[in-house]
Structure 1
Amino acid sequence: MSAQNLSSVAVHVVGQYHEAGKTLVGAWRTGARRLLDGAASRYGQMQKVTEFLANRLDIDTGRVVEVLDRMAEAGTKGIEAVAGRAARIESPIATSLMSTFSAINLPIANVHAQIADKIAEGAKTLETRVANAEEAAAEQAPAAKSGAVAVAKTARRASRKAA
């Protein structure tokens, strides 16, 4: 952000929080979908239930993203409207007052922008971790199944010996 003013920083912050929110919803959806798929694979009789829940998950996360989009759009329009009205003020006293207000608050706004950047970056990292965990779970599924089978066999042998 080169030629900065409060409104551009505020719009940037809104945009970063919007992206972070959408990214987190996507990561949550991916993780929840993985859980549902795992339950469906383990319990075949629950297939219809997990399909229903997966469908609801897709619909509800879509609605959350729509709300986030609306909120970001409304926030951005509000900031731009206030900035536009402030730019039309031609009084020397008001202009001086707004310049002083901007000079005092711009460093704080820049800190908020940096925080928003870090939150968006963290959300993207989380999304990547969720996606990588999904790939790792897919790779480990055959090994986990064979381990579970071995544990079950050992338990059966132990129960036979005890009987």
Structure 2
Amino acid sequence: MHALPPSLGIPHPKNQRGFTAIELMVVVAIVAILATLAAPSFTPLIERWRVRSATEGLTSTLYYARSEAIKRGGGIAIDATGGWSLGWKVTSTQNGVSTDLQVSPAPNKVSMTQSNNKDMLYVDRWGMLSETSGGAPMAVDIAIFPDGKSATDSSAIRLCAKGGRIAQMKHGAACP
């Protein structure tokens, strides 16, 4: 006699394992309630991440502009026309021709203000920052903070650049 394949002649057990639709709906409802309760506690964390990301992006741009200015013998500008919160670009002006070297988009849900309300920085051939092309070197003081908050918020960071050093001050503390 031939043996039947296992799926054919053997009845399936009546007690199948798994979850019912009601059990799954109860679990989904509990997870949704817990997520709703936990979401507000993540807001400060997300704000700090956004501010840190914008700060690192601007710091990277300052270092890039300095290195390009040293390499090209000056003529580099960091242009934030319309405000730092709208993004910025690094441009090179050589022989009267301007070229965009790097364009950085606006940071998401982050505000940025420079202490002297300038939207343009120039970098000379030694890598020093100034407010005017060929002007005297100056300190840069840019506050970066979440939208709707102030520059002294716990999530805020102040970017300070003086000479060749760029420092980040937490909680919007004043530049040294």
User: Do both proteins adopt the same fold according to a TM-score greater than 0.5, normalized to the shorter chain?
Assistant: no
Greater share of helix residues, 1 or 2?
1
Which category describes the TM-score, using the shorter chain as reference length?
Answer: under 0.3
Which one has more relative contact order, counting CA pairs under 8 Å at least 6 apart? 1
Compare the two structures and name the one with the higher strand fraction.
2
Q: Of the two, which has the highest radius of gyration?
A: 2
Q: TM-score, normalised by structure 1?
A: 0.26
